[in-house]
């Protein structure tokens, strides 16, 4: 599917910045016929978009064009605080899709996978075929390849295994941050 060409539209003639609007935008006097709505991902509200000429456009991307000098349709807009409803310009940043994917989780997820035992994205509990349990730290390396390190409960105990996995992931993410791989710095 081809992405919409946000840059081909003169947004300054269509919308106005409105800090009182939940989306961050309001219609200019010339365009009051289209609608606003929060869009949904997996059936849950996950941000604001506007409908213009029978197409839906993400409000945060329009704000980035107007205020952050976004000039490339292939770049995306990240919400720094991971709240897709917070479209304040200070909360938005332009990045690549890869960087946005890494930043989306903020490393503390709102909805964690059922195997997650730590509250940290990428640290989870797994069971081997023989019933042994372990904590697993997981991350993607510079080439996008999944990397894992395992900490058996039998060897460390559950609490220590989970802490070791959290520290392992934090250290791996921070190293990737230093290598400018698009991960934010993770603090203790």
DSSP the chain: -PPP-GGGS-GGGTEEE-TTSTTSEEE-TT--SS-EEEEEETTEEEEEEEEETTEEEEHHHHHHHHHS----TT-EEEETTS-TT---GGGEEEE-HHHHHHHHTTTS-SS--TTB-SSSTTEEEEE-TTS-EEEEEEEE-TTS-EEEEEEEHHHH-HHHHHHHHHHHHHHHHHHHHHTTSSPPP---
Q: Residue 79: which CATH number? A: 3.90.75.20
Q: Report the pLDDT averaged over residues 130-144.
A: 85
pLDDT, tens digit, for every residue of 75-107? Answer: 889 888 777 888 899 989 998 877 776 665 544
Q: Which domain holds residue 138?
A: 106-188
Total number of domains in the chain? 2
Same domain membership, residue 170 and residue 87: no
State whether 53 and 121 are in the same domain.
no
In this structure, the answer to whether residues 98 and 40 fall within a common structural domain is yes
Q: How confident is the model at residue 38 (pLDDT cuts 50, 70, 90)?
A: low
Q: Is residue 1 part of a domain?
A: no
The per-residue pLDDT for range 145-181, each reduced to its tens digit, is 788 999 999 999 999 999 999 999 989 988 988 887 7
Same domain, residue pair 114 and 95: no
């Amino acid at each position: 599917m081809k992405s919409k060409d946000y840059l081909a539209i003169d947004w300054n003639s269509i919308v106005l910045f409105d800090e009182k609007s939940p989306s961050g935008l309001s219609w200019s006097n010339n365009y009051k016929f289209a609608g606003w709505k929060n869009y949904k991902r997996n059936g849950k509200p996950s941000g604001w978009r506007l409908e213009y000429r029978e197409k839906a456009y993400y409000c945060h991307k329009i704000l980035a064009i107007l205020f952050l000098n976004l000039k490339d349709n292939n770049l995306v807009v990240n919400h720094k605080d991971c709240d897709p409803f917070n479209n304040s310009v200070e909360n938005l940043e332009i990045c690549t899709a890869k960087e946005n994917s890494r930043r989306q989780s903020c490393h503390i997820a709102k909805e964690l996978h059922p195997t997650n035992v730590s509250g940290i994205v990428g640290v989870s509990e797994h069971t081997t075929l023989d019933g042994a349990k372990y904590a697993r730290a997981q991350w993607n390396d510079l080439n996008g390849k999944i990397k894992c390190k395992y900490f058996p409960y039998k060897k460390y105990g559950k609490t220590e295994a989970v802490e070791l996995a959290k520290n392992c992931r934090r250290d791996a993410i921070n190293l990737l941050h230093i290598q400018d791989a698009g991960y934010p710095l993770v603090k203790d």
